[in-house]
Amino acid sequence: MSRDTKRKLVIIESPAKAKSLKSYLGKGWDVVASYGHVRDLPLNRIGVNSETLEPTYTVLPQKRTAVAKLRKVASAYKEIYLAADPDREGEAICWHIYKLLQGKDITFKRIRFNSITRDAIRAASTAATDIDMDLVDAQQARRVMDRLVGYKISPYLWRTVGKGLSAGRVQTVALRLIVERELAIKGFNPKEFWPVTAEFEQNGSRLLTKLFKFEGKRADGDRYSPSDKEKADTVLERVREALWEIDSIEEKKKARKPVPPFITSSLQVAASGRLSMPPSVTMRIAQDLYEGYEINGETTGLITYMRTDSVRIEPAAIEECRGFITEKWGVDKLSPRPRRYRASGGAQDAHEAIRPTDIKRTPELMAAFLDPRHLKLYTMIWKRFAATQMADAVVAETVVLVSGADAVFKATGQKIVSPGFSIADPAQLKVTGEIPSLTEGSVDLVDVSAEQKFTKPLPRYSEAALVSEMKKKAIGRPSTYVSIIATLKKRTYVELKEKKLFPTEVGMVTTDLLIRLFPHLFDVGFTARLEDLLDLVASGKKTYKEAVSQLYTPLAASLEEAMRRLPEIKASMVKETPEKCPLCGKTLLEKMGKFGKFLACSGFPSCRYTRPLGEVAEAAMSDVKCSECGRNMIIRKGRYGRYLACSDPNCGRTQPVPVGVKCPVENCTGELVERKSRKGKLFYSCSRYPDCDFAMWSKPVARECPRCGFPLLEERKKGVFCPSCKKKID
């Protein structure tokens, strides 16, 4: 088949970007999407040679149709441009596509762009290069490391704790942070302290102060305040008897600089705190802003690439920003010199910080194109970037010291002298209240008091706080933060309650076991060093095999020792109880499973009686008879909530739990049963489903509506209501 030498083909990940690229590149260019990864390690085997450590790849089953289409389309072109995202993952996608499509007389080129705008795309198309195999090797090394840990250690968890669990090279270390914080909270010993505050008055102006020194020693904070009521009362007595005067009023002006532009972790933390957005939602909205919106007939990206750990800003963007500031707020609001920020240690610096692609697209202009959530995130990004090139803010801080007898009280106030960058981003500049007009000299004591307080432990991690800690400790990378937290929740290792991450019993037991057996592998420092090693691979200073070997050597040694101790570990996970099985009379054993601790009959497999730990035996047995064999059925808990199972292990029949209310559908002989949706929400439906499709979310009540005669009512938070006439029933 002859190939077209006049037209060029661009292969990009997302179909959402294809339309934009096509319009920017114009005639002679065609654009198709690969829909993300097309090849990966096989699903049903490890796919890594244990001797050479070389991976074996296969086309993903769900991508076979897409790959066949790509091959057919690519066969007509002589020049193919690969345009996946500008990071290691994107580089690897390009390489996999190249390996699948390579053929005689085809030239492959790699184009990279940090934003989806006309100028960025056209500039990238004229600066095409080869695939960066160092970046590809870094991604392959990460993928193989994760596969080795997952496929080597997860089966060990299945044999000791329960099926369905998994270990992860980074995932387990992140879980360790959550578990160690929980243990620290539970083991925390609060200490009592009594901070002392006093209010003074001078010429009608009142000043609220805190005890700063007592008998020549610092007295502020939980460490120095009186440690019990008796000591606090002594301080109060001395304070009330003393004469007071203002010793000094000192004012200092301090310049405050704007913070760097957003990176992935700081964006997730700020969006969580200011907008109450979970990291997963933040990244999804940021992806939309990156891929772009149709504005004035042209689809364009609104922000630069959102998976980055670099605070670097392109010189052209700095100049554009400074020009905008001069025009909008005046040259006096501009920083004297262009501000450039340095990336922290460990940052890949592959592409620049998260910023608007065009500073002239103000939030006010974008309000017509964006929904409220997208606009809020865009506004936060825009303000943070605009502030980077603005003048310092100046804050005047006033410190007042009031002394008398053996005590010194202190008050601090702040006021903004020059707003500087806070004109663009007010959220960055927070000040305390101003000090009232005072002069040195005598003051009157109005009131003094001491309040009992107790020291508190560090709080549990929120999702955003965990991302911040992972960034700080170099665990994971911007592209993996959200997926790591999602995996921990999916595996039921953690639960999100009141926006905090709580480790489950399974998570704590699993973490303890993995740290005991593989202490080196799941050490925070070791994980961070592997991330540094991957950076060296990406820069060409280390090879793929050197990186993978550094993980595989301790993994193989630890796994060999763990297998030797397998009988001992399995025995330690089972505890004999004094309770007897209600079915066969044999001893019940306490075991650990995927959903936590449970009791199981020691007569397994001839007797399959189980129930969750802490649930009484009577609650586990029901009066419902099995329709197959007539035996009593047992209430069990599974992935989708409670269900009934026949007490005879040879029968095996299961069915939903009935709630004692007949189906209200006329002529239906079914009854309502408990069920759970795929998202875990409890609902009630007819036992004859799918013949009868009646269902309701609220708990049914076996009582006829006195108003309209409907055969059942429903229980809600605010009382009992009729689902038919919607009236509240007394």
DSSP letters, 148-215, are HHHHHHHHHHHHHT-TT----TTHHHHHHHHHHHHHHHHT----EE--EEEEEEETTEEEEEEEEEET
CB 387 within 8 A of CB 421: yes
How far is the C-alpha of 457 from the C-alpha of 194, rounded, in Å?
Answer: 18
The widest CA-to-CA distance across the chain, in whole angstroms, is 103
Beta strands 658-662 and 654-655 are unpaired
151 among known catalytic residues: no
Its sign, for the CA torsion 169, 171, 176, 177, is: positive
CA 358 to chain centre: 29
- For residue 109, give both structure tokens: 């080129």
For 163-179, letters b (16+ CB in 10 Å) and e give eebbbbbbbbbbbbbbb
- For residue 116, give both structure tokens: 């989806």
CB 393 within 8 A of CB 419: yes
Those residues with Cβ within 8 angstroms of residue 368's Cβ, 6 or more apart along the chain or in another chain: none
How far is the C-alpha of 362 from the C-alpha of 339, rounded, in Å?
Answer: 21
**Residue type at 413?**
G
- In three-state secondary structure terms, 132 is coil
Q: Which of 24, 98, 305, 609 is catalytic?
A: 305
CA 540 to chain centre: 31
List Cα–Cα distances, 86 to 50, 107, 117, 540, in angstroms.
Answer: 31, 20, 15, 17
CB 135 within 8 A of CB 538: yes
How far is the C-alpha of 176 from the C-alpha of 698, rounded, in Å?
Answer: 38
How far is the C-alpha of 18 from the C-alpha of 352, rounded, in Å?
Answer: 23
Its sign, for the CA torsion 141, 341, 319, 117, is: positive
Beta strands 107-110 and 77-82 are parallel
**Residue type at 367?**
A
- Going by the DSSP 8-state scheme, the letter that residue 551 receives in this structure is H
Query: What are the catalytic residues?
Result: 305
